[in-house]
Amino acid sequence: MQSLSEKVKIVKNSTTPSRHLVAIAELSPGDVILEEQPLLVTPHWECEQMKCSQCLQDSFVMCKKCEFFPLCIDCTTHNTYDCDFFCEGAAGAEISKNLLVENYTIFGVLKLLLLMENPANSEQCAALSATPGATVVDSEAWQEQDTQIVTPLLQSGIARVFKRVKVTHELLHTLCWRIDANAFEVTASDGNTLKGVYACGAQLPHNCVPNTVVTFDEDFRLKLYASVRIPVGAVIYNTYTNPLMGTSQRQHELRLTKGIECACARCSDPLELGTHMSSLKCTKCANGFVVCSAPIRDVGIWKCNNCAATMATDVVKQLLVDVGEALLETNSELLAYESLLAKYSVHFHQNHFVLVEIKQNIASILRAILMNPMCIPGKDLLERKLQLCEEMMPLVRAVLPGVSKLYGIALYEYLLSYMELAELIFEEKAAANAAQIFQEKLEDARDIAAKAKEMLRFEPSNSPEGHLVSRIAMEQKRIEENLRQLNSKRSCA
């Protein structure tokens, strides 16, 4: 099911039942740390469309043998153990054949119960129930899962038919947690998002600056690579938040969705690793930035790093509330975002997470315009796109050092606009040395493309990021073709 690099070992935590991986030899960027098959791939429990129990495509028929599990038109069988379980013996007689069809939300948890019940899996599945889930009891998510998954399962009488697994209220909630919060989002070949449960991969501790990259191939096989050099003794980390969020946002999300209190180097640094992603502009001096002295749980005082003037926490919070409300009123319009950006640039550092969010919104509108084959992009739009990329890329680099998917995607976006603009300027032939300028731009583009490809080099070719790699290869052809034409024109002249 899983294979571990010889350069890491599993270390059991002395106080909690959790385990983590530690480097016992130096790892280089690109070293494979872990390869693992999923224990289970399942639709998200809120998914309303029933999926085939064999291939996870949309289902419209039932298994003829067990009459319990949905299948698609192409599949005639599914997991033999599951099929037999509801066909023969106790389960067939005691449990309603319609249980799953009438409560499709239970699918993932039921599959995990069957995996645990199957003696062939007992070892791999031990981790599933070893630690309780970290959901806050009575939270909104817990309540919903209690009504939609736990109660229907308990009321169905299913606890009676499982022999090895002791089906309890607590275990069912733990299994809900394994799928809801402790699993990886994986993409099916039809583009649908599914949940992948992994025994070892799911136990990687979180850090807001990870030292690994995770990829999934078409069979949902997880591969974990070192993204940076990892010294002996270092813990192997993954990240479970969006790195472009500020500390207060990341902490809130981690607490709410994963039950994690992060105290990593980035979370405890008022400057967020020098990025200033949570800094405000000082109102008392020209060049100072106001930062929180103890950013974890937002308990410190907000003080200027230049003149030491303080700002009340309420004032900082109110500003954030104001931008949040203003963001909701933009109707996703380009000009509304631009004016919001101008308005709040007065208050926040240019890298502040709220400005980053506005810039991402602007960039995605520009992307849609530039991708539209019916529209010929003007120079101004392309220049704006490039400017936004240039502001965001150093940020991505700082929070995701080493090999990074996000940086690869940012470079790819930059490359597209860079090439478009270079070609547009060359076609205008306004400057006397237009050919010379074009040649230099093409050579830059060649470097950007190579860098983008390097960042995405671990992505399986059929993943969304893998498709980007082939798009980059097309850009590389376009660059070389342009360079060849320039040179042949020169030699003719």
Comparing CB distances to Zn ion, the nearer of 66 and 472 is 66
Work out whether 307 is an interface residue with Zn ion (CB under 5 A). yes
Query: What whole-number distance in Å separates Cα of residue 85 and Cα of residue 472?
Result: 49
Work out whether 54 is an interface residue with Zn ion (CB under 5 A). yes
Comparing CB distances to Zn ion, the nearer of 284 and 467 is 284
Comparing CB distances to Zn ion, the nearer of 9 and 284 is 284
| CA distances from residue 437 to 132, 429, 440 in whole angstroms, order as listed | 62, 10, 5
Work out whether 65 is an interface residue with Zn ion (CB under 5 A). yes
98 is written with which tokens? 């319609």
Work out whether 304 is an interface residue with Zn ion (CB under 5 A). yes
The residue among 272, 259, 278, 305 whose CA lies nearest residue 398 is 272
x/- map, 23-52, Zn ion, by CB under 5 A: -----------------------------x
178 is written with which tokens? 């394994």
Binds Zn ion by CB under 5 A, chosen from 112, 208, 411, 449: 208
Work out whether 288 is an interface residue with Zn ion (CB under 5 A). yes
Comparing CB distances to Zn ion, the nearer of 77 and 488 is 77
Query: CA 268: distance to chain centroid?
Result: 22
x/- map, 255-284, Zn ion, by CB under 5 A: -------x-x--x--------------x-x
Work out whether 72 is an interface residue with Zn ion (CB under 5 A). yes
Work out whether 243 is an interface residue with Zn ion (CB under 5 A). no
Query: What whole-number distance in Å separates Cα of residue 206 and Cα of residue 24?
Result: 20
- Number of chain residues interacting with Zn ion (CB under 5 A): 22
Quick one: which segment of 95-103, 145-153, 206-214, 393-401 binds Zn ion (CB under 5 A)? 206-214
Q: At closest approach, how far in Å is the CB of 254 from Zn ion?
A: 7
332 is written with which tokens? 């996703």
Q: At closest approach, how far in Å is the CB of 20 from Zn ion?
A: 16
Work out whether 235 is an interface residue with Zn ion (CB under 5 A). no
Of 78-117, which residues contact Zn ion (CB under 5 A)?
A: 83
3 three-class SS: strand
Q: Are strands 61-62 and 40-43 parallel, antiparallel or unpaired?
A: unpaired
295, 268 Cβ separation under 8 angstroms: yes
The residue among 175, 205, 224 whose CA lies nearest residue 42 is 175
Q: Are strands 19-23 and 8-12 parallel, antiparallel or unpaired?
A: antiparallel
Q: At closest approach, how far in Å is the CB of 76 from Zn ion?
A: 9
Comparing CB distances to Zn ion, the nearer of 262 and 320 is 262
Query: What whole-number distance in Å separates Cα of residue 88 and Cα of residue 157?
Result: 16
Comparing CB distances to Zn ion, the nearer of 315 and 486 is 315
Query: What whole-number distance in Å separates Cα of residue 210 and Cα of residue 361?
Result: 25
Quick one: which segment of 114-122, 186-194, 297-305, 485-493 binds Zn ion (CB under 5 A)? 297-305
Q: At closest approach, how far in Å is the CB of 73 from Zn ion?
A: 8
302 three-class SS: strand
- Phi-psi sector, 8: left (phi>0), alpha (psi -120 to 50), beta: beta
Phi, psi for 284 (deg, rounded to 5)? -105, -20
Contact residues toward Zn ion (CB under 5 A) are 52, 54-55, 63, 65-66, 69, 72, 75, 83, 208, 262, 264, 267, 282, 284-285, 288, 304, 306-307, 309
